[in-house]
Amino acid sequence: MSVTIPGIPIQISAAVLSMLALSMLVWQDLGLSDSCLGFEAFRHEKYADAARFFTAALKEAEKSGPNNHAVAVSLVNLALVYDRQHNYAGAEPILKRALAINQRPQCLDLQELSTNLKRAIT
């Protein structure tokens, strides 16, 4: 499966899907159920439901600021749903935003996200 950012094809790899599973565990530990419900819907290929839950999780994450780790993870989760729906135009700006957040100095905790996204791009 792939997403195309102009000039950069992105293959959604097992590493990215593993990151989605990891994010579910992190969100569950934080008591944020929308991401958990989104992951379950995604796993059962109920992509419209997954998008709704991941969008709600994104809105909740943004309450802590627009450029934090939780926002980046939520963005990647939502982009994966759009990819599965073949909504590449929807996934592109979301992935660009996640990458932009990752490149901010205050987001040093996104090193793993950066590594996984780079693997997905190559």
Q: What percent of the chain has pLDDT over 90?
A: 30
Average pLDDT over residues 45-67: 91
**Amino acid (one-letter) located at 85:** Q
> Cα separation of 22 and 3, whole Å?
21
Q: State mean pLDDT over 14-32.
A: 58
Q: What is the predicted pLDDT for the residue at 43?
A: 87
CA distance 4 to 121: 9
CA distance 7 to 66: 27
Please indicate, yes or no, whether the overall pTM of this predicted structure exceeds 0.75: no
Residue 91 and residue 47: Cα distance in Å, rounded?
13
In terms of Cα–Cα distance, which of 109, 56, 75 is closest to 3?
A: 75
Q: How sure is the predictor about 58, in pLDDT bands with cuts at 50, 70 and 90?
A: very high
Q: Mind listing the pLDDT tens digit for each residue in 86-113?
A: 999 999 999 999 988 877 665 445 566 6
Percent of the chain scoring above 70 in pLDDT: 58
